[in-house]
Structure 1
Amino acid sequence: MTHFEYLDHYLKTHLFYSKSTIKAYRSDLRQMKNHQIEWSMKSLQRYFNELIKRYKPTTAMRRYHALMALGNELIRAKRLKVNPMKQVRPIVHQHIQQREHHPLEETIQMIRHITDPTYRLFFELISQTGLRFMEARLLSIEDIQFAKSTLLVRHGKGRRLRTVPLGEGLVSKLRTFLEGRTTGLVFQSVRGKAINEQSARDALRKQSLAKRGRPLHPHDLRVSFATYLYQTGNRKLLEIQQLLGHGSSRTTEGYIISQETKLQQVIDALSA
């Protein structure tokens, strides 16, 4: 079995990646194979040299991080001794993102109007803990420490475990929601399986369009959570990094949206 065949099978059977992530990673593998790129530093460096000439920076950067993750899997499976991606020069795009800010407190109030109780609590949990969509979707009841008001995140990226705090109100809602259940997934379908990924996303999108006139995505909740902790809660960047499960503080920095600095407005004023 070649590295490509192994990774394709790995992605098809992966439990923790979202469907969109699996689709994107498999596409990256096909592109790599079609260009006859080998898992070697020289071959991969040539590949990314061409990518940055032909594709948007976001595409090249996303593919860089995707192949880095897949290379790490080849190491874990003992198919490679060294991940050649770690020797490839990183792709850096110096660009200030001017994303729309979603005030967390307003967002939580909007979420509380979702009619389905499962999706309502699901997104309320994400907005108040900063969990990734798949981390919340695969959360087990056994991983909630009600006495300590914390939960253990087992399915984070990079196999990083972390413990995050829960607010008293959220703990109370979780107790009521579980109705005495002590095992299994917190959020599950009537068949006892994980809630449908697309249906959950659609519930958030529908509610945000109805209340705010624009769609809201699960990732926006993590960004709002990080921004709230930094600006309103005055928490240190390292603390936010640990809560979000980021491997680098640079990633966390990209989540912080400034409410005060409106760069486009400043630039527009110069050309008035």
Structure 2
Amino acid sequence: MTHFDYLEQYLVTHITYSKQTIKGYRSDLRQMKKFFVEWSVKSLQAYFDQLIHQYKPATAMRRYHALMALGNELVRAKRIKVNPMKQVRPIVHQQIQQREHHPLEETIQTIRQISHPTYRLFFELISQTGLRFMETRLLSIEDIQFATLTLLVRHGKGRRLRTVPLGEGLVSKLRTFLEGRKTGLVFQSVRGKAINEQSARDALRKQSLATRGRSLHPHDLRVSFATYLYQTGNQKLLEIQRLLGHGSSRTTEGYILTEETKLQQIIDALSV
């Protein structure tokens, strides 16, 4: 079995990656295979040197991080001794963040208007803990520590475990929602399986469009949570990094948005 075949099988059976992530990673593998790229520093470096001249920075950066993760899996599976991606020059795109900001308080109010009780609490939990979509989808009742108002996250990226705090109001809602259940997934379908990924995303998107005229995605909730902690809660970047389960503070820095980016206004004034 080749490295490509192994990684294809690995992605198909991986439970913590979302369908979108798996689709993206498989596309990256196909592109790598198409250009006859080998898992060696020389081959990968030549590939990315070419990539940054042909694709948008966001595409090149995403592919870089995807192959870094897949290389780590090959090491974990003992198919290679060292991940060659760690010696490939990193791709850095220096730019001013001008993404749309979604104030956390407004976001939570929008979520609380979702009619479906499971999806409503599902996204309320994400917005108040910063959990990833798949981390929340695979959350077990046993991982909720009601006595200490904490939550153990077992399905984080990079096999990193972390404990996050829960608000008293959220804990109360979880108790009511579980109706005495002690085991199994917190958020499940009528058949006891994990909730449908696309249906959950659609519920958030439709409610946000109806309430605010703007589409919200699960990742926006993590960004809003991080921004709120940094701006309003005055939390240190390292603490936010740990809460979000990031392996690097650079990733966390990209989550911190300003409520209003004035750079464009300044530049426009110069060009009058």
Tell me which interval the TM-score lies in, with the shorter structure as reference length: over 0.9
**Unpaired segments ≥5 residues, structure 1:** none
Deviations 1:32-74 (A, max 9, x none): 0111111000000010011011111111110000000000000
* 8 Å CA contact retained: 2:98, 2:261: no
CA RMSD of aligned residues (A): 0.7
1: CA distance, partners of 2:201 / 2:68 = 27
Distance 2:110 2:260 in 1: 23
Unaligned ranges ≥5, structure 2:
none
For residues 261 and 37 of structure 1, what CA distance do their matches in structure 2 show?
40
- What does the per-residue CA deviation read over 1:152-201, in whole Å, with 9 as the maximum and x for residues that have no partner? 00011111100000000000000000000000000000000000000000
Does residue 65 of the first structure (1) align with residue 44 of the second (2)?
A: no
Matches of 1:99 and 1:56, distance apart in 2: 17
Specify the SS of the correspondent of 2:151. Answer: strand
CA distance in 2, matches of 1:198, 1:261: 32
Q: Are 2:114 and 2:120, in contact at CA under 8 Å, matched by a contact in 1?
A: yes
User: Using the alignment, how far apart are the partners of 2:154 and 2:103 within structure 1?
Assistant: 28
Amino acid at match of 1:160: R
Q: State the match for 2:213 in structure 1.
A: 213
Runs of 4+ residues deviating >3 angstroms: none
For 2:262 and 2:243, locate their aligned partners in 1 and report how far apart those are by CA, in whole Å. Answer: 27
Match of 1:123 in 2: 123
Q: Which position in structure 1 is the counterpart of 2:224?
A: 224
After superposition, what is the alpha-carbon deviation per residue over 1:183-230, rounded to whole angstroms, capped at 9, x for unaligned?
000000000000000000000000000001110000000000000000
Distance in 2 (CA, whole Å) between partners of 1:271 and 1:231 is 31
> What is the deviation of 1:260?
5.0
The amino acid across from 1:139 in the alignment is L
- Specify the alignment match of 1:21 in structure 2: 21
What is residue 43 of structure 1 aligned with on the other side?
A: 43
Percentage identity across paired residues of the two chains? 86
Q: Do the aligned partners of 2:240 and 2:252 also contact (CA within 8 Å) in 1?
A: yes
Q: Distance in 2 between matches of 1:220 and 1:260?
A: 16
Q: How many residues align?
A: 272
TM-score (norm 1): 0.99
Distance 2:97 2:234 in 1: 22
Superposed, which structure 2 residues align to 1:75-224 within 5 Å?
A: 75-224=75-224
What is the CA distance between 1:97 and its match in structure 2? 2.0
